[in-house]
Amino acid sequence: MHADLKSQTRLLRLSLFLWAATPLVDLFLLALSGNLGANPQETLLRSTGMCCLVLLLVTLSITPLRRLLDWTELVRLRRMLGLWAFAYAFIHLLGFWAFEHEFLWSAVLKDAFKRPFVTVGLVGFALLIPLAITSNQWSMRQLGARWKTIHQLIYAVALLGCIHFFLHRAGKNNFFDPSVALAVTVVLLGLRWRWRRPRHH
């Protein structure tokens, strides 16, 4: 039975890897063929931003699923999913930097003072960096208990991602998708709080 679970986890890992990679491959092929639409910048930024947020939420759901299904091997999937989330966040920021500010950081910083959604996005990305850097066995050994503390930042990143999404959609007055993302994040945070809360007998 234990061997079956490991086999199932490997298959799930491969499936999730392909699922995470597919939007990026699709964007690359669309860009090569010149089929990103009338506004390639918006297509790239919207797609990579959405993929990043979805992957963050899937990453956060691994621990609750592990507990609910008693499937400890699921924990091995978190690192891969988290790194994919970082990859999409990096491409999202790179596209924003290139398309809107012609690779000028000074222009990005000025924009951050004018538009709150840019500020929130930059802070969220900054918090993702230590998570990506320490997503390896060496960092886990070196940091010990501090590693878990650092990686709890993912909850703050997810909340900032939802706020970034809300602020961006404010101009279009379309809050359905951000509301769904925020609701999922709140549920996952609530489960974590409930499980960590000391039980009184």
136-162 as b/e: b if 16+ CB within 10 A? eeeeeeeeeeeeeeebebbeebbbbbb
**Is the pLDDT reported for residue 174 higher than 90?**
no
How far apart are the C-alpha atoms of 32 and 35, rounded to whole Å?
8
**pLDDT of the residue at 201:** 45
**pLDDT of the residue at 171:** 75
**pLDDT of the residue at 16:** 94
- Rounded to an integer, the average pLDDT of 30-42 is 89
**Model pLDDT for residues 104-152, shown as the tens digit of each residue:** 999 999 999 999 999 999 999 999 999 999 998 899 999 988 998 999 9
How far apart are the C-alpha atoms of 201 and 197, rounded to whole Å?
13
**Is the pLDDT reported for residue 1 higher than 50?**
no
**Model pLDDT for residues 51-72, shown as the tens digit of each residue:** 999 999 999 999 888 888 877 7
Alpha-helical (H) ranges within the chain are 2-32, 40-69, 78-101, 105-114, 116-133, 137-143, 145-151, 153-170, 176-196
**Average pLDDT of the residues of the chain:** 90
164 in Cβ contact with 45 (< 8 Å): no
